[in-house]
């Protein structure tokens, strides 16, 4: 049996579990497990992917300030934000974001405000009619894994879990 695991690297990781079969009795005699890497990306990973940190998502799921609107806005922002380093920012127009989600501008603005307060999303300078935003690398990472350690050191700590 071979199982593929999702890996944060551009390489796929495979685990091969081997066993011997006793041809007289049909008994399966367990063998060893082998882990090996291939040098090509699995077909299910496109060039646009995100590395998610389970501890951050767990804390976010327990934070009562993050409701359905905040999660919808976050999901759309993750898909829109650029892949790269922490220095990559994307100008977001709240009206356009609201229209793409079928949400009122004020609801998107309120959801974005919560995401920025929790420092899941980092708000940068004003660009045109909107602000520049980036995903906090301590929550999730879009880009080459080799750039994450430096970006995460300079990023703010997440401010998750509150009670209403």
In terms of CATH architecture, what is 51-154? Orthogonal Bundle (1.10)
Q: 63-108, pLDDT tens digit by residue?
A: 999 999 999 999 998 888 765 545 577 888 899 999 999 999 999 9
**Res 32: pLDDT:** 46
- For CATH 1.10.10.10, list the domain ranges present in the chain: 51-154
Read off φ and ψ for residue 109, nearest 5 degrees. Answer: -60, -45
Question: H-helix or E-strand containing 14?
Answer: strand 13-21
pTM above 0.75, yes or no: no
């Amino acid at each position: 049996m071979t199982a593929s695991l999702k890996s944060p690297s551009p390489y796929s990781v495979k685990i091969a579990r081997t066993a011997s079969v006793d041809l007289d009795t049909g008994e399966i005699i367990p063998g060893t497990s082998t882990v090996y890497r291939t040098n090509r990306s699995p077909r299910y990973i496109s060039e646009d992917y995100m590395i998610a940190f389970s501890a951050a998502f767990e804390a976010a799921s327990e934070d009562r300030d993050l409701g359905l609107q905040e999660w919808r806005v976050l999901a759309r922002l993750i898909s829109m934000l650029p892949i790269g380093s922490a220095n990559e920012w994307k100008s977001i127009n709240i009206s356009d974001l609201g229209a793409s989600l079928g949400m009122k501008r004020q609801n998107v603005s309120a959801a974005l405000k919560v995401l920025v307060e929790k420092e899941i999303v980092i708000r940068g300078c004003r660009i045109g009619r909107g602000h520049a935003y980036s995903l906090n690398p301590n929550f999730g990472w879009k880009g080459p894994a080799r750039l994450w350690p430096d970006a995460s050191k300079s990023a703010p700590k997440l401010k998750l879990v509150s009670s209403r």
